[in-house]
């Protein structure tokens, strides 16, 4: 486990800034980061080496952004061809794909460099690419005032301070783990970097390091709770989760372990943030992802969620004007609003409920079925550990609802359970059994990949 303190990160940021200046890389330029390597998770020595690379990646991003150089975070788990296409799209001034090259940037003299108080942009991350080709999300370079506002928006909702120790769960190629790491450093705190997620390592870190804050996706916590024996008591003052729907049974387990008053969920995307939900709010309205985050307004228009963000929170899709224009429009109040295509609804008190992604929607017999709705019911069935609901072509219905199940449960029990709790059109017509569900390396279930894993055709 590597520990990066705010003081160490500041020193490293100056080394990065000086090294970039010596190479002639200036504000507005991009540097592709394709680290740590995508090799198979190995022994303890390999994990510690990977943790050191994570430390260097976080330090690099922290320093580069403080002089307006934008790290382009490329997922190293992609194939060489996939990585190459994204790098070519971003047209970077430099590609860092070897740990030694990155370490060299952090080994030189820091020189006389002036760093902005706050990073002048967000790192450029790519959309998940579960459908279509991934696109970089670009915020441009901000002035000092807007940069301060943007990063305070990352710090203040969680009351991050110099007393905090943030435990990193996910890969830094994804936006939330990197953002939370930088926000913690900006607040004066420290960041724990494990190399890669290993539930046993995380459990031991709870005892050895007593982290105060963590961001995780639900599958991280599910794997932690699945460890044999008792999970160590939660040391967290705040446990934050997002990135995927959290099944109600898991949500209640999280609340019981970390404390309902110390658990927060947020709903957001690489493109921007939408809502925040405290644990007590979820208990009052099970299934909600909360109300609009500060400085934002939410609307559901014909089921599609739209967000009016702060002026400094604009974005575009790098090199894709048509996709950018499709994401933004002028709302009824005359201000710009954006969507990422998610479907949902708002109750009378402004609490948002997610119905699913438009890409995931199953239309059977002309009726919309939201996979999240069906999955939440099936996950309550005894013996079901994981579930993914999806649609496949059907001559009679257009699509039929199907479910892939991980767990020790019979099909007859599943059908009986669904028959008592789901309308007929929502009940899966076919059940398939898998040892595990396909996921992104951040832990999100790739619903649209399930039919391919099963050798089925999906609309």
pLDDT at 223: 87
Lowest mean pLDDT among 30-34, 71-75, 105-109, 167-171: 105-109
Q: What is the DSSP letter of 117?
A: S
pLDDT at 358 over 50: yes
Q: Which two tokens stand for residue 217?
A: 């996706």
Contact 448, 360 (CB under 8 A): yes
Q: What is the pLDDT of residues 32-75, one digit of tens each?
A: 999 875 444 667 888 889 999 999 999 999 999 999 999 999 98
pLDDT at 7 over 90: yes
Strands 263-268 and 2-4: unpaired
Q: How confident is the model at residue 360 (pLDDT cuts 50, 70, 90)?
A: confident
Give me the chain's average pLDDT, please: 90
Rg value, the chain, Cα: 22
The secondary structure element, H or E, covering residue 182 is helix 175-186
Q: How confident is the model at residue 430 (pLDDT cuts 50, 70, 90)?
A: very high
Contact 139, 121 (CB under 8 A): yes
- Output the CA–CA distances (angstroms, integers) from residue 177 to 102, 126, 342, in the order listed: 19, 14, 22
CATH of the domain at 390: 3.30.300.30
Q: How confident is the model at residue 77 (pLDDT cuts 50, 70, 90)?
A: confident
Q: What is the residue-wise DSSP string for 257-298?
A: HH-GGGEEEEEE-SS-EEEEEEHHHHHHSTTB--EEPTT-EE
pLDDT at 129 over 60: no
Q: What is the DSSP letter of 77?
A: T
pLDDT at 109 over 50: yes
In terms of pLDDT, which residue wins out, 441 or 329?
A: 329
Asked, for residue 196, whether it belongs to a domain, the answer is no
Asked, for residue 348, whether it belongs to a domain, the answer is no
Q: How far apart are CA 234 and CA 258, in angstroms?
A: 5
Lowest mean pLDDT among 49-58, 73-82, 83-92: 73-82
Q: Give the residue numbers spanning the domain of 432.
A: 361-454
Asked, for residue 244, whether it belongs to a domain, the answer is no
pLDDT at 429: 95
pLDDT at 394 over 90: no
Closest residue by Cα to residue 221 from 241, 236, 245: 241
pLDDT at 254 over 70: yes
Contact 122, 150 (CB under 8 A): yes
Residue 51, classified by CB atoms within 10 Å of its CB into exposed (0-12), middle (13-18) or buried (19+), is buried
Looking up tokens 């740590």, which residue turns up? Answer: 36
pLDDT at 425: 81
Q: What is the mean pLDDT of residues 319-329?
A: 93
Q: How far apart are CA 426 and CA 388, in angstroms?
A: 13
Q: What is the pLDDT of residues 293-302, one digit of tens each?
A: 999 999 999 8
Asked, for residue 108, whether it belongs to a domain, the answer is no
Q: What is the pLDDT of residues 149-163, one digit of tens each?
A: 999 999 999 999 999
In terms of pLDDT, which residue wins out, 83 or 183?
A: 183
Tell me the helix, strand and coil percentages in the chain, rounded to 5: 35, 25, 40
pLDDT at 130: 41
pLDDT at 38: 43
Q: Which two tokens stand for residue 140?
A: 């441009």
Asked, for residue 10, whether it belongs to a domain, the answer is no
Closest residue by Cα to residue 266 from 142, 176, 387, 336: 176
196-207 burial, b if ≥16 CB within 10 A, otherwise e? bbebebbbebbe
Q: What is the mean pLDDT of residues 360-389?
A: 86
Bond prior to 426 in cis (omega within 30° of 0) = no
Q: How far apart are CA 274 and CA 268, in angstroms?
A: 5
pTM, two decimal places: 0.81
Strands 2-4 and 30-33: unpaired
- DSSP lists the bridge partners of residue 264 as 240, 278
Q: What is the mean pLDDT of residues 286-312?
A: 94
Q: What percent of the chain has pLDDT over 90?
A: 69
Contact 265, 243 (CB under 8 A): no
Q: How far apart are CA 78 and CA 76, in angstroms?
A: 5
Asked, for residue 127, whether it belongs to a domain, the answer is no
Contact 215, 181 (CB under 8 A): no
Neighbouring C-alpha atoms within 13 Å toward the C-beta of 285: 16
Count of structural domains, the chain: 1
- Output the CA–CA distances (angstroms, integers) from residue 221 to 63, 195, 442, in the order listed: 31, 17, 12
pLDDT at 39: 45
Q: What is the pLDDT of residues 213-231, one digit of tens each?
A: 999 988 889 889 989 999 9
pLDDT at 131: 42
Residue 410, classified by CB atoms within 10 Å of its CB into exposed (0-12), middle (13-18) or buried (19+), is exposed
pLDDT at 42: 67
pLDDT at 37: 53
Asked, for residue 367, whether it belongs to a domain, the answer is yes
Asked, for residue 402, whether it belongs to a domain, the answer is yes
């Amino acid at each position: 486990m590597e520990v990066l303190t705010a003081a160490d990160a500041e020193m490293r940021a100056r080394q990065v800034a000086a090294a970039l200046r010596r190479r002639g890389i200036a504000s507005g330029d991009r540097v592709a980061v394709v680290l740590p390597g995508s090799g198979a998770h190995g022994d303890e020595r390999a994990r510690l080496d990977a943790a050191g690379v994570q430390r260097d990646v976080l330090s690099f991003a922290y320093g580069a952004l403080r002089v307006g150089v934008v790290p382009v975070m490329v997922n190293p788990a992609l194939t060489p061809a996939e990585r190459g296409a994204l790098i070519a799209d971003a047209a970077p001034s430099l590609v860092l794909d070897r740990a030694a090259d990155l370490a060299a940037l952090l080994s030189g003299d820091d020189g006389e460099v002036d760093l902005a108080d706050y990073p002048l942009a967000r790192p450029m991350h790519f959309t998940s690419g579960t459908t279509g080709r991934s696109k970089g999300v670009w915020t441009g370079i901000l002035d000092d005032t807007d940069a301060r506002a943007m990063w305070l928006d990352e710090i203040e909702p969680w009351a991050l301070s110099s007393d905090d120790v943030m435990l990193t769960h996910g890969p830094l190629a994804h936006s939330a783990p990197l953002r939370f790491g930088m926000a913690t450093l900006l607040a004066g705190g420290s960041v724990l970097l494990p190399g890669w997620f290993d539930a046993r390592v995380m459990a031991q870190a709870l005892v050895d390091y007593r982290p105060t804050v963590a961001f995780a996706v639900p599958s991280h916590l599910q794997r932690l709770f699945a460890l044999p024996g008792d999970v160590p008591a939660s040391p967290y003052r705040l446990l934050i989760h997002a990135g995927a729907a959290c099944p109600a049974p898991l949500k209640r387990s999280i609340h019981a372990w970390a404390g309902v008053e110390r658990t927060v969920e947020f709903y957001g995307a690489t493109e921007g943030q939408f809502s925040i939900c405290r644990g007590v709010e979820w208990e009052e309205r099970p299934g909600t992802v909360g109300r609009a985050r500060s400085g934002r307004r939410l609307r559901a228009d014909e089921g599609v969620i739209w967000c009016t963000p702060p002026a400094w929170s604009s974005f575009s899709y790098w090199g894709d004007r048509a996709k950018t224009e499709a994401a933004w429009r002028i709302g009824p109040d005359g201000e710009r609003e954006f969507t990422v295509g998610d479907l949902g609804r708002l109750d009378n008190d402004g609490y948002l409920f997610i119905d699913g992604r438009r890409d995931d929607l199953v239309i059977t017999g002309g009726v919309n079925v939201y996979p999240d709705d069906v999955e939440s019911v099936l996950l309550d069935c005894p013996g079901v550990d994981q579930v993914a609901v999806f649609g496949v072509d059907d001559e009679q219905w257009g699509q039929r609802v199907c479910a892939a199940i991980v767990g020790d449960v019979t099909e007859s029990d599943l059908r009986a359970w669904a028959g008592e709790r789901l309308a007929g059109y929502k009940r899966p017509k076919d059940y398939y059994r898998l040892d595990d569900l396909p996921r992104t390396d951040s832990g999100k279930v790739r619903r649209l990949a399930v039919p391919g894993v099963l050798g089925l055709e999906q609309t």
